[in-house]
Amino acid sequence: MADIGFIGLGRMGSRMGGRLIDAGHTLTVCDVSEAAVGELVKRGAKRAKTAAEVANAAELVFASLPSPNVVHDTVLGANGVINGTKVKTFVDLSTTGPRVATIVHDALAKKGIASLDAPVSGGIKGAAEGTLAVMVSGPRAAYDKYESVLKIFGKLFFMGDKPGLGQTMKLANNLIAAAAIAITSEGMAMGMKAGIDPKLMIDVLNVSSGMNTATRDKWPRSVLPRTFNFGFATALSFKDARLCLDEAEAMGVPMVVGTAVRQMLSITNNVYGPDSDFTIMAKLVESWAGLDPDKK
């Protein structure tokens, strides 16, 4: 069993960290939330005050953080991973985009520290159950060394040796997922305005060519019951869409539909707040359609 560090114990990180403990690994953890740290300490984790302290205690350090800037500062700042004395491999499970992944990789490489970007998809449920899709890129030797540990989180996909390929894959995935919500919201609102029962619509769509991740999973679990609690914050989805379009523009890839999806997420974020669930986009479209969005 390995001595592992974990930085960032939010809704995803706390569950992934818990899985590492359950697998028998010694875990040193750090987070801005004392309560989040305390929960894993109760389960046997060791407490660290800074990212550098985590990197002093473990050869393998994971991070699950909310934004590129936070990742950059956590890894390369004065109290960052880069200043740790024991760390040999850093794995970023966050969604940061390929540019930050490359910057982190290059800076850590100068210190002899391997870096893997390994963003994940599958939500809170997948993090808890170990069924995430893990999109990994970076040095193959580092991936091979810790493949068995990464498998604790879910199904692995090695995207290539080039830093940032995992991030590019994740950004494309998240934009497509948000697009499915956006177009399903519009189609559902049209049917509901005409008088079709929304559950019946979902039943039809899920055996028809309109079936997608939103109709198959998000509507039954979060929209139809009007809970809007699928488990992914609007602000995070909006951040991912912005990152994706920024990267696409830099690469010369047109994203006409993606631009509309980003705008939908921006409006949803402004109307319902950054902590709302991204499935609440359906409620926004219903209100625009003149439907009663609070009717169950």
Answer yes or no: 170 catalytic: yes
Alpha-carbon distance values, 204 to 201, 216, 220 (Å): 5, 11, 13
Q: Pairing mode, if any, of strands 120-121 and 89-92? A: unpaired
- What residue has token string 């060394």? 145
136 phi, psi to nearest 5 deg = -110, 135
Extract the tokens encoding 253. Answer: 């890839």
* Strand, helix or coil for residue 215: helix
265 phi, psi to nearest 5 deg = -65, -35
Within 23-119, where are the H helices?
A: 34-42, 51-57, 68-76, 98-109
Cβ burial, residue 6 (10 Å; 0-12/13-18/19+): buried
- Are 122 and 108 a contacting pair, CB within 8 Å? no
Extract the tokens encoding 204. Answer: 């039809």
Q: Indicate which residue of 46, 170, 239, 283 is catalytic.
A: 170
Catalytic residue positions, numbered: 170
